[in-house]
Each structure stands twice: as C-alpha cells, then as structure tokens.
Amino acid sequence: MTMRRFVDRARKDEDLAAEIESHLAHEQDAQAARGVPGEEARRRARLRFGNPRTTRERVWRYRSLPWIDDAARDLRFALRSLARTPGFTIITLLVIAVGIGVNTAVFSVVDAVLLKPLTYPDPQSLVQLVLTTDRGNFPGASIPQFALWSRQTSIFAQIAASGFTPVGANLTGVDQPEQLQALHVTRDYFALFGAPVAAGRTFTAAEDSPNGGHVAVLSYGLWKQRYGGDPAIVGRTIQLDGRPYLVVGVIGRSFVTDTPIDLWVPTQFDLNSHEMVINYVVTARLRPGVTLPQANAQLRLAADQFRRTYGAHSLPPAGGFGVVSLQEEIVGNMRSPLLILLAAVGFVLLIACANVANLLLARASARRRELATRAAIGAGRGQIIRQLLMESLALSLTGGVLGLAIGFVGVRVLLRINPGNIPRIGETGSSVGLDLNILLFTLGVSVLTGILFGLIPAIVASRPNLAAILNEGSSRSGIGFRQGKIRSILVVTEIALALVLVIGAALLVRTFRKLGEVDPGFTTHNVLSMTMSISGDRFQTTAPVAQLAREGQHRVQAVPGVLAVGASNCLPLASGFGMVFDILGRPKNGPFTGGAGFYSVSSGYFSSLGIPLVRGRAFTERDDASAPGVVVISQAMARRYWPKGDPLMDRIQIGPGAGPAFAEPPRQVIGIVGDTRNGRVDQDPGPMMYIPLAQMPDGETALNSRVAPLYWLIRTRENPYNVLAPVESALREASGDLAVAHIRTMDEVEARNIARQRFNMVLMTVFGLSGLLMAAIGVYGVMSCSVQQRTQEMGVRMALGAQAADLRNLVIGQGMILAFIGVAVGLVGALGLTRFLASFLFGVKAMDPTAFVVTPLLLCAVALLAVWVPAVRATRVDPMAALRLE
C-alpha cells in the first residue's frame, strides 16, 4: 500500500469534483446528441450518475485513516474548548509543566549518571580491579599487584594502571607558570579506554619502563588552549617542574575523564618492585566470553600466589583480589540516592495529577449540560470519553513541552548548587543534556499523566443522567454525590503524598543541620588552604621538603593578619593516608598492632587548624631529621590502643613490613592532640598519628611527592581572602616560584564535604514544598467549589437561624476531615517509606519523632489556611439572595 493514497486529500477532492462535472457535461452532450432538449439532458445526466457527493465521500473515505481523522477532530474541539477557559487552562498547564519539569530534570541526571553506557568502546567488558576485604571492596593496587594481575592473560585482554588522582605539575619556562593536572598511566591505558589520538602517538613500551625518559601526552583541552591546536607541538619539549618533557602525542577531544586531566605521563613501573604502597587504580578489559565470576575465581588463585610470593601478611587475612564492572564502580553508590530522588519527584507528579484531575472534575461538572446535550444528539459514551481524554492529552502534552523547558533550566539550576562529586556529569553538569532518552521519557510521562488525570473525570462526566440534567433549570444544584466523593479521595491522596514528601524533606533538613553542628575537631573559620605541587626532582628527598615548609612558614607568618601557618601532606575532610604500626614491647596477635590515619605535618600545623594539645607537647622546628624520631597521636588512638597505661611512655614502629621506602627507627610518642574528622563529617574520627615532615624517610617522601601535593594552611584574623595576595607571593618566594592551586577556605572544604547531603536536602525540600502547595490548592479548590455549589443550602440554614460561626465551622470541619484522613494515610505511608532514607540520615532516626509530629501539624495548618477562605465565604452568603436563586 502506498502512502500516495493519503496525501494531498483536499486537492485531489477538488480534482475529482471537476472531473465529475466534466463527466456530467459529456453525458449531457451525449443525451443532447440523442435529441433530448437541454434542461432534460442535464437532468438525465445527473440521474444516471447518481449523487456526486456520495462518490466524493467514497473516495475521501478511501483516502483516510478513520481514527486519525477522529482524533484530529477531537483535538481541534479540545483546543477550542480549552481556549474558552483560559484561566483554567493556564493553571492546569502550570501544574502539569512543573510536575513534568521536575521529573525531566531529575531524570536527565539519572540518565547521564546511571543509564547512559560509559563512553568507552564495549564498556560492558571493562572492569576495575579491587582489593576485597571483610569490610567491602576497595579499588587500589600496588606495583607488585599490578604486575601479578598483568600476567592473568587468560581473563584480561588488556590491563592498565593509573594514579588515583591527577597530581599537580608546574608548567615552567613559559610567561605564565601554571599548575597542570597530570595523571600517571601505564602504556596500555589509552588503548584500553579507546582514547583517540589527535596527533602523534601514545607511550611506547620503552618509554613506560624505568628510566624511559621524560615524555608526556597532552589532552585536547591543553593542546588547544596552551598551544593553539598546533600539531607541531608533537616532538617539542615542554618544561614540567623545571624538567624537559618530550610531547609525543595529543589525545582527541572525545575522550572523557571524570576529573579534568591536562596531560598524561608514563608510570614507568619497575615490575620487579616490592613496593607495597597502594597508589594506583587498575582497570582491565575482560577477554570475550569471560564472566565476572570466572575472573573472580581466577583472581582468588592469584591472591594465594601473591601471599606465597610476598609473605602471608602481604594481604590482610580476609583479603583478596576481585573485579567489579567499571560502570558499577563509578556510579554504584549514586544509584540509590538518585532512585530515591526519582521516586520523590514521581510523588510530586502524582500530586500534580491528582490536582489536575480535581480541576478537570470541577470543570466537567460545570460542563454537564454541554456534555448531556452532546449525548442527547447522539454522541456515544465512548466518543465523549475520547473527546475528554483528548482534552487532557492536549493539556498534558502542552504541559510536557513546557515541562521540558522547565526541566532543561531546572537541571542547570540543580547542578549549580554543587551536587558534591556526582560522577559522570562532567564539569558543572556539562554532560547532562537533552537527548532521545529524555525526550522519550518526557513524552511518555506526558501521555501517561494525561491519561492518569483525564480518565477518571472523563468516565465520571460521561455518565450523565440526561433527563435530569437537561431538565435542570440552573447549575446551582450541588455536585453529585459520587463526584464529590471522588474529588475528596483525590484530595486525601494529595495530602497523603505531600505528607510523605515533607516528612522526607524534614528528615534530610534535620540531617543537614546535625552535620553542620558536628565539630570537625579543628577551626574551619578564617582558615585558608591551598596546594603546592612538589612532584619535581627537587623534592625527591625529605630535606628540601622540610626546608620548603620551614621557609614558607616563616615568610607567611610575617604577613600582617596571619595568625598561624602550617603545612602537611594531607588535608583534613578531603584526603588522607593510612598506615600500620606496632607498639614496641607489647605482644601482638597479628602481623602488627593496629592501623591509623597518618599525616606528616610541619611544626605550625596544629596551631594553624587550632587542634588542641591534650597532653605532652606538639612539634617544634627542632624535631628535624637529626633529632630523635617523635610522633603525636590523637585521643581516639590513645583510647583505642592505650585503654590502660600511658602512651607517652611508649615508642611505636610505623609501617612495619611496608617496604624498604618506609624503613625507619621507632618513634617516641610525645603528645596527644584532639580528635579531628579527616574523612567524612558524618563518620566518627578514627585514630590518627602525626609525624614531623622533617622526619619522613626519604623513600617515603619520594613516593609521597609523586602522588600528593604539599597542603598549606593559613589561619588569619579576618577574611582570609584579604591576605591571599601577600600569602601567595610569600609562598612563591619561599618555594622558588612554585604556583599554588585549589585555594579554598576550610569552611568551603567542609561545605564540599557535606555537599551531597545538602544537594539531597535542597531537592527534597523543593519537592516537599511544591507537593504541599499543590495539596493546599487541592483542598482549597474542593472546598470553595463545594461552598459555591451549596450557596442555597447555606442561605436556607441562615434563614433558619444558623450563625455565621456555625456555617464557618461546618465548612472548616468538612475540609479538615479530608486533611486528617490524608495525614493519617500519609503517616502510615511515611512510616513505611522513610526507612529507604535511613542510609542518608545522620543524627536522626528514620522514625524521628520531631519530623513525624511537626510535619503533620504543619500540613494541618496549611490545610486549615486553605479551607479558611471558602469557610469565611460561606458566612457571607446573603440568605435572601440565596433563596431567590430558586
């Protein structure tokens, strides 16, 4: 069947009409030729042909698809009907657009983070290697582990290691020195991720082996911005930390990394190394046909082999190796928060639907005579339902288009409020965009909502008792019992859903406030932090790093307005290392006594962060390489490992068995400081040990400088940004022109630490409030409609002696009964649903009494407000006027 049949119907019909006219003329000629006189000839011609209109209709119908025609007619009618009530149409469109808009916004984040496959070729076969422990999986690897995994060629087609995070590298020898983000990667990294090469090549095997020389591969962004996209950069050298690096290639723009990378340098592993530091992440591509369980089984054997090669304690007793899918590793912990947000936003949409259904019911009751008339002149019930559904679909689809716009703007706003490191969304959400998934989602949601909110009103409205309605003299009699009941059910549903949302929001608000009240154990106010990359040759031993810290401390301390200065290899609330230790002279039942967070800090560190000294003494500049080894521990460490006895009497051995780089003499515990939260704010502070920067073993400093910058902490009298310029120049002088980066106050670091919780809270609050507002509108709508339709009843009551207060209380009572039922249902629902929030809560229980008492009261107050207006209106009824309506 060809499409030709259906196109250009109107023109073809005109053509047919002309053709029939021509036929009649010829027939008339033929009749005339037989001697029939003019008028009679024409009559006979017409008689012979039959009704031309019938023929035209036959052809017209043949050229049409009946249901499309009907739908088009219904749509035209729906649009006309909606245009007649612009107020209703606009309010309804707004409610739908907001409902669909927030859904589109949240869905587009879900789409970008969870649904879209990774942008690498054949992403399903990419896996991340993890260390399995009894406390969960941990992505990370040491060089010997990588070397062993690389040999598992029966399960891995490709394997590559890269640094946990990029490290700062100072681009020097140019007009404007700049700190670049460099990532250490093994040779196969680019092939593994299918990174396109825009110019030159990636690393050779020789370049990625020890002493392979200084080479770099540039990112597309750096190439364009710094070097104007000049292909001749390949083969030239650039200066990084004062060393010449040969640029061997440029990676194409389409290669996506989660944190921005400026350039890549080879890891140059010595695969025979016994270095047990876990500084790398390893990603691999499974051989075709190899499943995750098969790979895991193989890696269990590899773990046994690892223990045999490097000793029983090279892995924790319950530890081993494993693989997880790369996508799962990247987004796994975002799944449940995003799905909960999606569910919450679905609630908002349901409330919007109930609201619109309510409005449609009110509208339908005002149109009963119109619908009855249509039924009376022959429209079937199906036709009326279809036409009313077409109206609601017209509303929902228009609302959907508006919602798409709202969603598009909304998602930008959403991601502006710092969502706290959601993976895969790019910088400020640049990878969250409009795509087919989102368009289909919005279309689907629009159609579904149109049917959802349109069906009940359409069915109710199409069931008119014709005679009764047509015989009614006016529209003043009340809404039918059934319709009133349905509207009440809808309002109860709205209130119940809104209550669930608001309780969820209340729990998250309380969580956020509790988090804000947590004392991190140090001063965050008026403390500035910044990083300085020390990855260059200069800082491969401890002495120059200690010298830099001492020199910087002196110079910055001299800046007016600076109260204290410190330096360290970690930043509280942002990063940290861990290390094992032994307590000398104490029997141990494992390979070592215990583990603790491990910071190496300058003498000014504790005072710069205002960390209180509890006992003993803190470091001074005299605790240098030539002085006896010392260590300061935290209260939590003292409590855990010295429940009895005095830690200040003991010496500890840090990093036993961790490899030659960590070999050092035992250290005397000289002081105990207050606990600080170095990981997440919502986690209890763990045991901590601090050593002086100047007393790090050289090998450890070399490893450390490669992967971590030096952090500077400056406590000031006033707003720290006021002294930023002199501090920066002081540090530049102290370091011989090294740049600083990542300049933030510790308040900002703390805010970033709880950004995710803030994001959840803000969204839930927005959803809760919009649900609450819609529910209030719903209550108001139903009650004011009911008051309006009972004007006559009110008049009679008044005439019979009812006081204004009686009438008001009557209306309020009826409205509040709906509110109470809704609250009761909502409470039950919330009790069932808030446990899904439990893992996002901190300091409050999922059954938090405050949230479960205050929120229903709030909802009742809002409902009272919403019924108050129609209730007062009921008291203003003029009994005479009401009775005269008869």
- Residues near another protein (CB under 8 A) are 2, 4-5, 12, 15-16, 18-20, 22-23, 25-27, 29-30, 48-51, 54-55, 58-59, 62
Q: How far is the CB of 39 from another protein (least distance, A)?
A: 19
Q: How far is the CB of 37 from another protein (least distance, A)?
A: 18
Q: Find the distance separating the first CA and the last CA of the chain, reported in whole Å.
A: 63
Q: How far is the CB of 7 from another protein (least distance, A)?
A: 10
Taking the least distance from each CB to another protein, the nearer of 5 and 416 is: 5
DSSP-assigned states of every residue in 551-607: HHHHHHHTSTTEEEEEEESS-TTT--EEEEEEETT---SSSSSEEEEEEEE-TTHHH
Length of the chain measured in residues? 886
Q: How far is the CB of 8 from another protein (least distance, A)?
A: 11
Q: How far is the CB of 38 from another protein (least distance, A)?
A: 15
* Contacts with 252 (C-beta within 8 Å, 6 or more apart), sequence order: 195, 196, 197, 198, 220
Taking the least distance from each CB to another protein, the nearer of 32 and 451 is: 32
Taking the least distance from each CB to another protein, the nearer of 29 and 122 is: 29
User: 3-class SS at 365?
Assistant: helix
Give whole-number Cα distances, 21 to 14, 16, 35, 36, 747, in Å.
11, 8, 21, 19, 88
Taking the least distance from each CB to another protein, the nearer of 3 and 83 is: 3
Q: Assign residue 268 a region (left: φ > 0; alpha: ψ between -120 and 50; beta: otherwise).
A: left
Q: What single letter denotes the amino acid at residue 92? A: T
Q: How far is the CB of 71 from another protein (least distance, A)?
A: 23
Q: How far is the CB of 19 from another protein (least distance, A)?
A: 5
- Pull the structure tokens for residue 615: 């006992």
Q: How far is the CB of 25 from another protein (least distance, A)?
A: 5
Taking the least distance from each CB to another protein, the nearer of 19 and 878 is: 19
Taking the least distance from each CB to another protein, the nearer of 51 and 589 is: 51
Number of alpha carbons in the 13 Å side-chain half-sphere of residue 797: 19
- Cβ atoms within 10 Å of 849's Cβ, excluding its own: 9
Q: How far is the CB of 15 from another protein (least distance, A)?
A: 7
Nearest C-alpha neighbor of 226 from the set 179, 194, 163, 165: 179
Q: How far is the CB of 73 from another protein (least distance, A)?
A: 23
Contact 607, 593 (CB under 8 A): no
Q: How far is the CB of 42 from another protein (least distance, A)?
A: 14
Taking the least distance from each CB to another protein, the nearer of 14 and 304 is: 14
Q: How far is the CB of 68 from another protein (least distance, A)?
A: 18
User: 3-class SS at 882?
Assistant: helix
Taking the least distance from each CB to another protein, the nearer of 4 and 876 is: 4
Cα separation, 759 vs 510, in Å, equals 14
SS (H, E, C) 108-169: HHHHHHHHCCCCCCCHHHEEEEEEEECCEEEECECHHHHHHHHCCCCCEEEEEEEECCCEEE
Taking the least distance from each CB to another protein, the nearer of 30 and 625 is: 30
Give whole-number Cα distances, 273 to 46, 277, 585, 660, 747, in Å.
105, 11, 31, 10, 41
- Pull the structure tokens for residue 17: 């009409």
DSSP-assigned states of every residue in 767-778: HHHHHHHHHHHH
Q: How far is the CB of 500 from another protein (least distance, A)?
A: 58
Quote the crossing angle between the two packed helices 481-517 and 436-461, to the nearest 10°.
140
Q: What single letter denotes the amino acid at residue 321? A: F
Q: What single letter denotes the amino acid at residue 344? A: A
Taking the least distance from each CB to another protein, the nearer of 55 and 541 is: 55
β-partners of residue 562 are 716
Cα separation, 384 vs 76, in Å, equals 14
Taking the least distance from each CB to another protein, the nearer of 26 and 308 is: 26
Taking the least distance from each CB to another protein, the nearer of 26 and 617 is: 26
Taking the least distance from each CB to another protein, the nearer of 54 and 839 is: 54
Cα separation, 735 vs 232, in Å, equals 33
Reported as type and span, the H/E element at residue 755 is helix 755-789
Taking the least distance from each CB to another protein, the nearer of 25 and 72 is: 25
Cα separation, 27 vs 718, in Å, equals 105
Cα separation, 117 vs 125, in Å, equals 12
Q: Are strands 215-218 and 630-634 parallel, antiparallel or unpaired?
A: unpaired
CA 14 distance to own-chain centroid: 58
Q: How far is the CB of 70 from another protein (least distance, A)?
A: 22
Contact 120, 258 (CB under 8 A): no
Q: How far is the CB of 116 from another protein (least distance, A)?
A: 45
Contact 186, 160 (CB under 8 A): yes
Q: How far is the CB of 464 from another protein (least distance, A)?
A: 40
Cα separation, 727 vs 629, in Å, equals 31
Taking the least distance from each CB to another protein, the nearer of 28 and 635 is: 28
Taking the least distance from each CB to another protein, the nearer of 16 and 71 is: 16
